[in-house]
Amino acid sequence: MSTHAATEDIFAGTGDEKVDRVYLAQGGDWADIAGEQAERGDETIVVNMGPQHPSTHGVLRLILEMDGETVKSIRPGIGFLHTGIEKNMEFKTWTQGVTYVTRMDYVAPIFNEAVYCLAVEKLLGITDDIPERATVIRVLMMELNRLASHLVAMGTGGMEIGALTMMTIAFREREMILDFFEAVSGLRMNNAYIRPGGVANDLPENGLEHLRTVIDWLKKHLPEYAGFCNENPIFIGRMADIAKMDLSACMMLGVTGPPLRSTGYGWDLRKTQPYCGYETYDFDVVTWASDDAYGRFRIRLQECWESLRIVEQCYERLARSQGEPVMVADPKIAWPAQLTVGPDGQGNSNEHIRHIMGQSMEALIHHFKIVTEGFKVPVGQVYQAIESPKGELACHVVSDGGNRPYRVHFRDPGFNHLQSVPAMCEGGMMSDVVVAVASLDPVLGGVDR
């Protein structure tokens, strides 16, 4: 079939300005298109960055219209990592939902679990019944995860502009944190550790000693990042005054987290809308006033130190509360019922198995029913928001009174942030698109869900 040009712009939406030429390729006769385009005398070309590009932080597609190296138009294309998590959760019990949500933003899985469980607990009316030790463990795991997430953001962002050592040392520190996660939950990522009512299990016997090792390691090595980058003229040249977005733009586009705080506005939900007892911890909200990629990097670097301050306070609280419960006392909610993990972390302890299999028929029946059927949640809906490493992460949960969610929807900060890419990139250079996306730190597992 031949290739021809339409006489009118059939693709223009309502209110869109119509273009003078639309090419309909119906058989691959690209020579005709190229020839006709060459006669126009302009230099506009369309380039796809992604969805397989190494600098798009996941399977993100960016459609760029460029005049030479200058970006005239940029549109994010998402959906390549859609996993149907929110819909799947409607067919699983409330506790099983944790296994799904932890896989959304897979760089910060603990936060997905925390915001979901806080929402479910609010519907159950048991927010004030969560044991203190469980809440402290939640804060500990979230702040360590915030450190790990920021290390990935700084490491990959540095690598993409040629600072390769940033990547190697960032993943070195992250490995220490993931080793601790594995010791506590059995898994490095996708932990499903925070559960409605508390956490799955207490720290292992040597948990506090392991935590102290992690704290000491981070204190020793975090100064290296500032030494590599803060005053490095090449690093500053690639980051300063790039991907600028002022406070008004952030407000209009729903931008939160480090990109918002880089405008000088200290909005952090841990301070402004406290949860998990954050109001009892001593830490500062980090801001910068440059509106650019460099400011977002400096904020993440300083937030690592603030998270470390909180982790040390958790260490002291956990040392004082050893032996206290980590799950609500209500046996109709605690899942699995009084489960204890064996010393190898690979299954139920002998004491637990002996009890439910050999001593109490009622315990065995209850264990079976709470695991297979779950618990029922009163009719209602709640919205719960927390401060994730990327920004405001929120969960809207609707219950019809059954043992499964009627609807669960998440506000992932990366989803909102991607709509700000055109505002940051149009009129700039193609090479700065990579810096802009990295400064937002989107994770496409959370964006697409």
Domain ranges of the chain: 4-77, 85-335+374-448
Structure tokens at 253: 């586009």
pLDDT at 337 (0 to 100): 45
pLDDT at 1 (0 to 100): 39
401-439, pLDDT tens digit by residue?
888 999 999 999 988 999 888 888 888 888 888 888 888
Gyration radius from the chain CA atoms: 25
> What number is the average pLDDT over the span 208-213?
91
381-410, pLDDT tens digit by residue?
999 999 999 999 999 999 998 889 999 999
Calculate the dihedral angle through the C-alpha atoms of 115, 118, 123, 128, rounding to the nearest 10 degrees. Answer: -160
pLDDT at 23 (0 to 100): 64
> What number is the average pLDDT over the span 103-113?
91
Q: Which residue has the tokens 């149907």?
A: 84
Whether CATH 3.10.129.10 fits 85-335+374-448: no
Phi then psi dihedrals of residue 210, to 5 deg: -65, -45
**Residue of 5, 37, 431, 14 lying closest to 242 (CA atoms):** 431
> What number is the average pLDDT over the span 308-317?
92
Q: How far apart are CA 281 and CA 220, in angstroms?
A: 23
Give the distance, in angstroms, between the CA of residue 201 and the centroid of all CA atoms in the same chain: 23
**pTM of the predicted model, to two decimals?**
0.84
